[in-house]
A and B are shown apart, each in its own frame.
Chain A
């Protein structure tokens, strides 16, 4: 078997050697160390740790809030992408650039700012309080933070697909008598669906692991507004390394499943184009 095809370019050994050493030292060995730490618990204690009521509650909070936030971003992300690609209005370029803000803004800054806005004397929170909605320090606060964090994903996956969309299929649909809404729901939307789902999955995966923006706004009540990453930190602060590692392994498994789903969605998305 030939491991590497012949090439006249130099530098394979050096580049590949450095890549592998760096990757192993920084990523692979530390990650294996974590998994190994979780195994020191033995199966029974590992199972008890990851199925403890507090852990189950944390999975539920994390999963539900991430799902809601990703759904909000799927709907509004599609809308924002549509408006940015199809319509012209003043300041469009500025808005387009601003969409990436949640990725450039440090999560701690997002966390304290959103907490300020939605707490009971904040700019938005005070009005929500008047109608009896508690936003900061409740699950709704977590949803708000995760919506902010995941905002760019659907916009950025849908935008290029929408730009490449063939206008002629829309014209054909119209000339065959379809209304504008029928054209959108039966011609355009199915083409965009894989991209929307890819963006949704990316936002969801990101939300599952998010920590910085959530800890400020969540209130962090065990069993109610405690997310999994926070529970890991709590265990770590009690020097329960193995317990923290066990929960981390659960999260890693979920991340890998999400990674797989995203890859499949992207393949579907590319095949559809």
Chain B
């Protein structure tokens, strides 16, 4: 299992998890329990709650007027647009890939399956900076294909295609990682039955497989989208930070911050924080849905 999928929990993959032990016959003395709860909550308050409060308080420190001015600034709007565009390309690509890879890996037996699984996880273990660097080395001015692309007048690095490529690389495994364990646990008898009864491949997929993986797919998409919209390291390496052109929202946050426009930086950051919170809520809802269904 990979870093992200593990940390974010494969809720969908373990429907038959043992019920939580509710009543423990033996537990710690009340005082010890309270102290442990207090220390754990103190740690989470310091590292999770305080930063959340800080983002919004800093975003609104100069009042609502400044806040809305900051997020409706033309350059901020261009950054929002580019972020949405990037996610709108990267996420569907990785969804198609994730479904195809999961179909091949879980419905068939072939040589090299575990190697393929490991390769799919690869982008998770690569530093974001390296995820951007590989495309600079490939398409940059002094990269392998740079001179050729220059003659053709095609710009990839310091342009939108590079941002999309880096983002797609970084979010590459999300959907596949969520679907593979889920489809593995479901086996392939139902699809085989559908085929025997005369369904063609697409009918089998859309009427048998898709309904049974829809929550897992949603889960993968929501995580993939959150990372696509929030990626910083990889995108900053390939972007060139041309205002209004190659600035995504996280890069806009950086630029404003480095220009000491703190209220504006936190205003754009607050939008990304809202996205993160929505992601967490949707993720929890999907987890409850699958727990109820099982």
Residues on A lying within 8 angstroms of B by beta carbon are: 1, 3-5, 7-12, 14-16, 18-19, 22-23, 26-31, 33-34, 36-37, 76, 79-80, 82-87, 89, 93, 95, 97-114, 116-117, 123-124, 147-148, 151-153, 156-157, 160, 163-165, 167, 170-171, 174, 180, 183, 202, 205-206, 208-212, 216, 229-230, 232-233, 236, 239, 241, 244-245, 248, 251-252, 255-256, 258-259, 266
Contacts and interface: CB of A to CB of B under 8 A. Distances in A.
12 contacts: A15-B104, A76-B40, A79-B39, A82-B36, A87-B27, A87-B36, A98-B48, A100-B8, A106-B249, A108-B232, A108-B251, A167-B24
Interface stretch (B14-22, B63-71, B212-220): B14-22
A19 B24 contact: no
Contacts of B28: 180
Contact of B172 (A27, A98, A180): A27
B43 A80 contact: yes
A208 B116 CA distance: 25
B201 A10 contact: yes
Contacts of A85: 20-21
B155 to A, nearest CB: 16
Given A106-B276, A148-B47, A180-B28, A233 B9 contact: no
Contacts, number: 322
A18 B172 CA distance: 14
A76 B43 contact: yes
Instruction: Specify the main secondary structure of chain B where it touches its partner.
Output: helix
A33 to B, nearest CB: 5
Q: Which of A112, A163, A206, A258 has the most CB of B within 10 A?
A: A112
B31 interface: no
A130 to B, nearest CB: 18
B265 interface: yes
B87 interface: no
B154 interface: no
B242 to A, nearest CB: 15
Interface residues of B, number: 113
A2 to B, nearest CB: 8
**Which A-B residue pairs are the 9 nearest by beta carbons?**
A209-B127, A106-B230, A212-B232, A10-B201, A211-B233, A104-B276, A30-B134, A229-B129, A4-B110
A178 to B, nearest CB: 11
Nearest to B143: A241
Given A79-B39, A80-B43, A113-B51, A202 B130 contact: no
Contacts of A252: 126, 130
A254 B52 CA distance: 33
B20 A202 contact: no
B182 interface: no
Contacts of B251: 108
Given A80-B40, A252-B130, A9 B233 contact: no
Interface of B: 1, 3-4, 6-9, 14, 17-18, 20-21, 24-29, 33, 36-37, 39-41, 43-44, 46-52, 54-55, 58, 93, 96-97, 100-101, 103-104, 107-111, 116, 119-123, 125-130, 133-138, 140-144, 165, 168-169, 172, 188, 191-192, 195-196, 200-201, 204-205, 223, 226, 229-233, 236-237, 249-251, 253-254, 257, 262, 265-266, 269, 272-273, 275-277, 279-281, 283-284
Contacts of A151: 47-48
B111 A4 contact: yes
Given A7-B107, A171-B25, A171-B26, A216 B127 contact: no
A211 B128 contact: yes
Contacts of B281: 97
Nearest to B24: A167
Contacts of B46: 124
B108 A202 contact: no
Nearest to B191: A9
Given A16-B104, A106-B272, 20 more contacts: A3-B111, A7-B108, A7-B109, A9-B108, A9-B201, A26-B172, A30-B135, A33-B144, A83-B40, A106-B253, A108-B250, A112-B253, A112-B265, A117-B50, A163-B18, A164-B18, A167-B24, A211-B128, A244-B133, A251-B130
A180 B26 contact: yes
Contact of B51 (A148, A167, A239): A148
B58 A116 contact: yes
B161 to A, nearest CB: 13
A127 to B, nearest CB: 12
B132 to A, nearest CB: 9
B169 A202 contact: no
Given A15-B103, A101-B276, A164-B18, A241 B129 contact: no
A106 B52 contact: no
Given A10-B195, A104-B280, A156 B226 contact: no
A109 B272 contact: yes
A36 B257 CA distance: 37
A9 B126 contact: no
Contact of A22 (B41, B97, B108, B133): B97
